[in-house]
Amino acid sequence: METGKKIAIGCTVAVVLAVGGRLGMIAYQRHQAATAVVEKPTFEWKLTDDDMVHLKHLYPSTMKDARDLIGKRVWISAGGQMEYFPYAGKQVQWSKKAGTLLGAQPMDIKDMITQRPPKSVIATQRIPADSTAIMAVFSNPDDKATYAATVGYIENGQYTFYLDEMFFYDDPHTLYKHWGAENWAAIDKHEAKLGMSENMMMMALGQVSQSGSQKKGDRTVHYYNLGKPYDVTFVNDRATKIEPSK
């Protein structure tokens, strides 16, 4: 009988010790979790001089908004993409392409008009078929002839403008003066130069480009450059190799 009691008491003590040990372990683990120092991931965010440049936007939605540019000078941001045409007698001379708008090219806006382009050129103007083109009438500072370039379109009564995507509203030579005089001299001649960043090269050779990598600044980029293409290799966002390509 005494032996049975001892066995029962021993089993009870063992259970209590086991449960107590388990509870103690849980309490310890919770204490450790509560007092542990959690190392948060750190992110290094580097702002470049280009990132600090403030670019104005008009957010136009009506022809009145667009006409606010009449009498003002703008500069091309989206170089190498849009053709322009002679303008005379209040008509765009669609059959006589005058050239392609180039990066940092200055334009003095004379008027904003709407005209319907022929089907033969509508595809090159980046507007839908059967739409009406919104045209900026302009002259260049060193060429007083008058030209017109598509800056949007009207479709089913809805206005779409490319103005903010096409233009700088302040002189990019001032906005990006940190690029330096030598780089700007090459950009204004639309020449590729070793040491240029991708942004500089895009201004010089145009935005029509492609690359097999998404890592801007460390990759090789193919620039169409109006039919005279280049392959440019960048390392740490500096052009280290420039080759004419087929």
Mean per-residue pLDDT for 228-245?
Answer: 96
**pLDDT, tens digit (0-9, with 9 covering 90-100), for 28-44:** 555 555 555 445 554 45
**pLDDT, tens digit (0-9, with 9 covering 90-100), for 145-168:** 999 999 999 999 999 999 999 999
What pLDDT does 30 receive? 53
**pLDDT, tens digit (0-9, with 9 covering 90-100), for 64-93:** 999 999 999 999 999 999 999 999 999 999
What pLDDT does 20 receive? 47
Q: How far apart are CA 230 and CA 186, in angstroms?
A: 15
What pLDDT does 12 receive? 43
Q: Name the band, by pLDDT with cuts 50, 70 and 90, for residue 47.
A: confident
Contacts of 38 (CB under 8 A, 6+ apart): none
* Exposure b/e, 189-214, CB count within 10 A at least 16 = b: ebebbeebbbbbbbbbbbebbebeee
